[in-house]
Structure 1
């Protein structure tokens, strides 16, 4: 056991409560799923998390079996989402939890690798890489396409930010809601096609490169490292384009229902950005607060610059409707 005075008490509580949260989540997910593969994986994860929780409790001398209010709310939300969307949501949440865990422990290990805590973290990370991460990856690879899920949220985010910027600029230049609506819708459709084409071409090119590399290895009698990607460029492009157009409707809807300026568009887009940023950060293992603030700053800059350009266009080039 190490005294918590040797380390930040907040860090000690975080490590203990995070393991308790993961353990509580896995136990509840196991109780609610009927998928045998998922249950088998969760059985193994529960055993590992029980060991990790005991380790950190003994390491810091900090024994608790009760989550704080924030983690309890988060646990209830995740369980509600899993009940609502079923096994697919469980797969996504398992993957996201593991990504968060690996990144958190790697960051801490870099900071404390020359101290006793660093050695403890090395053992936990070994478990993560050899057991937990492998189990979850094996399960989710068979069931879901995490890339497609991320494509959805990235498309939504791009559609919201880009079209809100366009709406703001058009209001600055034209002022007339009808003209703004027509221009914004045209821009949204063009943007959706552009995003879809970009996703299609990128994945198609990558698939061709991997196919050529695979053929070369087969010719040389070498063992291929991996099979050709199963993800379809057409499907990927369609997902990104559709998500983009859905995101683009968020700042356009207030104008459609009679808004005479960009204020309501900014408000609805801001809410959408917070929701999308939270979901995307959770799925990709990023810091949620940082991601939200970054996207809100980008949104603010996009609105300010676009609106200013619209005003300048109206003033210097006499654009009016």
Structure 2
């Protein structure tokens, strides 16, 4: 995009966001959430007004912006079945991109001091919007979706590599490839599940030990706990003088000091283990299933890659939506890395087949 066209693009983007957020907000039954999204909508309109003024000050006419009624209507329908925050996040992926573009424009464009200050406030608003949607995702439990697809992605990529390598060895016996991939997948799911269980349980045990130790310190030498609190503040980037001032104000408040010094975990180790293992198993299904129906591995492998590629694309979109990163780059990154691993595994399998002369 040319530098001179950016203000036009920014104006259209902000107006489109205004129309979209306002329409979706009006269809949300949760009044509190609706009002918050309306507030964001009016803020986007304010941002559009800045770009409109920016263009007019330079003798340029802002382009007419029409509502994208088809897109908004589709989003309204989806909002009836899915959480509206997730729907908005899915379709409005430009927030993090807008922040970067605005910051680059701020640094490189010849702006007046007043324009710079206004643009800085707009950047802060966009960061606030992004934070709001991220917070909503966590509060509504939608972050579990990201955890699930990440676990599923692990199973899918690892087993795709395994069946690709085995396909080169067992060219005419796809059932062996399928069964072997399934066995490896189940073993991987157990490993991932047990690993998650041990990780969460270990963290809980460490937290409990630290809590007990902190209780003793508060009882025996509370000044030591206060000193440790001040040290942590300084390590986190707080200026020494300010850290000392905060420490004095908090005094020997056990609750305030414990919040910084102790890392709490609310995860349940059993739930975490089962969730992780199941997510991994779901990923195993897609690259393995063609081998139970195809007459040979030559036919099964392309279908395995096709299924895996389709699911990886969907996974990449979900991760991008919930993490606020570029969709196209994430899809390319995940698909290319998975297919590269599969290609290397197939090559290695071919080498093993040639060395050992396996004929099955």
Report how far residue 96 of structure 1 moved: 6.5
Unaligned runs of 5+ in 2: 57-61, 219-224, 226-252
The answer to whether residue 179 in structure 2 is matched with residue 182 in structure 1 is yes
The answer to whether residue 11 in structure 2 is matched with residue 16 in structure 1 is yes
Aligned counterpart in structure 1 of residue 296 of structure 2, from 251, 260, 264: 260
The 2-side partners of 1:58 and 1:210 are apart by 55
| Counterpart residue number, 2:356 | 317
The 2-side partners of 1:208 and 1:260 are apart by 50
Aligned counterpart in structure 1 of residue 337 of structure 2, from 298, 314, 317: 298
* CA offset digits 1:51-91 (Å, max 9, x no partner): 122222322342432267xxx77655544432322xxx223
The 2-side partners of 1:275 and 1:138 are apart by 23
Aligned counterpart in structure 1 of residue 324 of structure 2, from 282, 285, 290: 285
The 1-side partners of 2:147 and 2:98 are apart by 24
> TM-score when scaled to structure 2?
0.73
Aligned counterpart in structure 2 of residue 228 of structure 1, from 256, 264, 280: 264
Does the C-alpha gap of structure 1 residues 267 and 30 become closer, same or farther in structure 2, counting only changes over 3 Å? Answer: same
Query: Higher relative contact order by CA 8 Å / sep ≥ 6: 1 or 2?
Result: 2
The answer to whether residue 123 in structure 2 is matched with residue 128 in structure 1 is no
RMSD: 3.2
Task: Check whether the contact 1:113–1:119 (CA below 8 A) recurs between aligned residues.
Answer: no
Range that drifts further, 228-237 or 33-42:
228-237
Report how far residue 135 of structure 1 moved: 4.4
| Counterpart residue number, 2:230 | none
The 2-side partners of 1:158 and 1:249 are apart by 12
The 2-side partners of 1:181 and 1:135 are apart by 45
Q: What is the number of residues matched between the two proteins? A: 308
* CA offset digits 1:165-200 (Å, max 9, x no partner): 111111111221111111011011112222223333
Aligned counterpart in structure 1 of residue 161 of structure 2, from 160, 165, 168: 165
Unaligned runs of 5+ in 1: none
* CA offset digits 1:104-159 (Å, max 9, x no partner): 31454156425427654311122234x5355445544433242x221111122222
The 2-side partners of 1:200 and 1:111 are apart by 47
List aligned pairs for 1:16-165, cutoff 5 A.
Answer: 16-61=11-56, 62-66=62-66, 75=72, 78-85=75-82, 89-94=83-88, 100-102=94-96, 104-106=98-100, 108-110=102-104, 112-113=106-107, 115=109, 116=111, 119-129=117-127, 131-133=128-130, 135-136=132-133, 139-146=136-143, 148-165=144-161
> TM-score when scaled to structure 1?
0.81
Task: Check whether the contact 1:102–1:125 (CA below 8 A) recurs between aligned residues.
Answer: no
The 1-side partners of 2:295 and 2:199 are apart by 38
Does the C-alpha gap of structure 1 residues 144 and 46 become closer, same or farther in structure 2, counting only changes over 3 Å? Answer: same
Task: Check whether the contact 2:320–2:326 (CA below 8 A) recurs between aligned residues.
Answer: yes
Report how far residue 38 of structure 1 moved: 1.4
Name the SS for the 1:144 alignment partner.
coil
The 2-side partners of 1:157 and 1:73 are apart by 32
Report how far residue 203 of structure 1 moved: 3.9
The answer to whether residue 232 in structure 2 is matched with residue 237 in structure 1 is no
Name the SS for the 1:8 alignment partner.
helix
The 1-side partners of 2:51 and 2:136 are apart by 27
Task: Check whether the contact 2:21–2:37 (CA below 8 A) recurs between aligned residues.
Answer: yes
* CA offset digits 1:226-268 (Å, max 9, x no partner): 9833333333332232222112111112112225221111112
Report how far residue 270 of structure 1 moved: 1.2
Range that drifts further, 109-118 or 180-189:
109-118
Does the C-alpha gap of structure 1 residues 208 and 284 become closer, same or farther in structure 2, counting only changes over 3 Å? Answer: farther
